[in-house]
């Protein structure tokens, strides 16, 4: 510890690689036009990353990018052409946050809409696959890469009505685990962040824009915010290179499982 650090009581953190420290690392965030994606872009930018954000709603994406100096590029993770076009514009990437995803409906398996299941699988699972496969060469080339997959408590606990979303998130969790094993020994970390109840547009989208039904999800509960989850993502991304946060399940204090929720009546 230096004398100046002793005098201030601050912890001295050695810089292990000056060449990496000299230039901001590039972080790519998908699904960054709302919710967790927006918050993650802001937190990573505040942490010193050069941020590239992607989503389908380019107008909203630009409004997110401008205040933080991020690069906004239109992206649909369900469309390989869109993914290729997006990734062609990214010559360097250290951190990929696979955030794009979501749920559609709350129907039982008996009444399941196959199209809704296909949408959830294509967005959550194949979207993660497309982005990871496309950017992996530049992530490896960075010499200090990190792939972060945003899952859900639904990847750990199935619940009635959640069959399609459960299946997609269980699959995404499997992708994270396999990827971690396949990249073992190479300069890439893999982290899975699985939030519980977060008050974003998630429920509004799930219920087809029914604001009243979406609001009922959070009634009597203090849920997580998008910033709460983004702070966890940024924590994982800013650990020393040799430290891999394997997985994080992040729940509100009012939630003890996928359906175990404490609701206040007053």
pLDDT of 72: 97
pLDDT of 4: 42
- 165 assigned to active site: yes
The CATH number covering residue 27 comes to: 3.40.50.720
User: 82 lies in a domain?
Assistant: yes
For residue 250, give both structure tokens. 């992040």
User: 9 lies in a domain?
Assistant: no
Strands 71-74 and 50-55: parallel
Tens-digit pLDDT profile for residues 73-100? 999 999 999 999 999 999 999 999 999 9
Best CA proximity match to 109, nearest among 152, 153, 167: 167
Give the list of residues 6+ apart from residue 21 with CB closer than 8 angstroms, or none.
15
pLDDT of 212: 87
User: 23 lies in a domain?
Assistant: yes
User: 218 lies in a domain?
Assistant: no
Give the Cα separation of 144 and 78 in Å (integer). Answer: 27
Q: How many CB atoms lie within 10 A of CB 136?
A: 18
User: 28 lies in a domain?
Assistant: yes
Q: Which of 121, 159, 165, 218 is catalytic?
A: 165
Best CA proximity match to 41, nearest among 80, 15, 73, 17: 73
For residue 201, give both structure tokens. 């547009």
User: 209 lies in a domain?
Assistant: no
CA angle 244, 247, 251 (to 5 degrees): 135
Whether 130 contacts 118, CB under 8 Å: no
pLDDT of 213: 83
User: 69 lies in a domain?
Assistant: yes
pLDDT of 3: 45
Tell me how many domains the chain contains.
Answer: 1
User: 137 lies in a domain?
Assistant: yes
pTM of the full predicted structure? 0.88
DSSP letter for each residue of the chain: --HHHHHHTPPP---S-HHHHHSPPEEEEESTTSHHHHHHHHHHHHTT-EEEEEES-HHHHHHHHHHHTPEEEE--TT-HHHHHHHHHT-S--SEEEE----------STT--HHHHHHHIIIIIIHHHHHHHHHHHHHHHTSSEEEEEE--GGGT---TT-HHHHHHHHHHHHHHHHHHHHTTTSSEEEEEEEE--B-SSHHHHHTTT-HHHHHHHTTT---B-HHHHHHHHHHHHTS-TT----EEEE--TTBSSSS-B-----
Query: Which structural domain, as residue segments, surrounds residue 97?
Result: 19-198+225-250
Best CA proximity match to 52, nearest among 75, 36, 22: 75
Per-residue pLDDT of the chain (266 residues; tens, 9 = 90+): 444 444 444 444 333 343 444 568 999 999 999 999 999 999 999 999 999 999 999 999 999 999 999 999 999 999 999 999 999 999 999 999 999 999 999 999 999 999 999 999 999 999 999 999 999 999 999 999 999 999 999 999 999 999 999 999 999 999 999 999 999 999 999 999 999 999 887 777 887 887 888 888 889 999 999 999 999 999 999 999 999 999 999 999 999 999 899 998 87
pLDDT of 211: 83
Give the Cα separation of 124 and 114 in Å (integer). Answer: 15
Maximum distance among all Cα pairs of the chain, rounded to whole angstroms: 69
Q: 67 vs 41, 61, 70, 99, CA distance in Å? A: 11, 11, 8, 20
Tens-digit pLDDT profile for residues 157-191? 999 999 999 999 999 999 999 999 999 999 999 99
């Amino acid at each position: 510890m230096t004398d100046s650090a002793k005098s201030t009581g601050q912890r001295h953190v050695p810089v292990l690689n000056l060449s990496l420290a000299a230039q901001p690392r590039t972080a790519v965030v998908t699904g960054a036009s709302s919710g967790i994606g927006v918050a993650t872009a802001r937190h990573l930018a505040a942490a010193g990353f050069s941020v590239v954000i992607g989503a389908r709603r380019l107008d909203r994406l630009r409004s997110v990018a401008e205040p933080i100096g991020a690069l906004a590029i239109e992206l649909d993770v369900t469309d390989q052409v869109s993914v290729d076009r997006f990734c062609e514009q990214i010559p360097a990437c250290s951190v990929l946050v696979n955030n794009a995803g979501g749920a559609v409906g709350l129907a039982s398996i008996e009444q399941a809409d196959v199209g809704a299941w296909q949408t959830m699988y294509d967005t959550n699972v194949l979207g993660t696959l497309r982005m990871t496969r496309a950017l992996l060469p530049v992530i490896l080339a960075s010499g200090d890469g990190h792939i972060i997959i945003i899952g859900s408590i639904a990847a750990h606990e199935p619940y009635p009505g959640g069959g399609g979303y459960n299946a997609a998130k269980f699959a995404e969790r499997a992708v994270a685990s396999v990827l971690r094993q396949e990249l073992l020994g190479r300069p890439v970390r893999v982290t899975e962040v699985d939030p519980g109840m977060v008050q974003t547009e998630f429920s509004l989208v799930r219920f087809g824009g029914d604001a009243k039904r979406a609001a009922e999800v959070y009634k009597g509960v203090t849920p997580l915010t998008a910033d709460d989850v983004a702070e966890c993502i940024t924590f994982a991304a800013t650990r020393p290179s040799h430290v891999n946060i394997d997985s994080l399940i992040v729940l509100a204090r009012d939630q003890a499982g996928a359906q175990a929720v404490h609701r206040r009546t007053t």
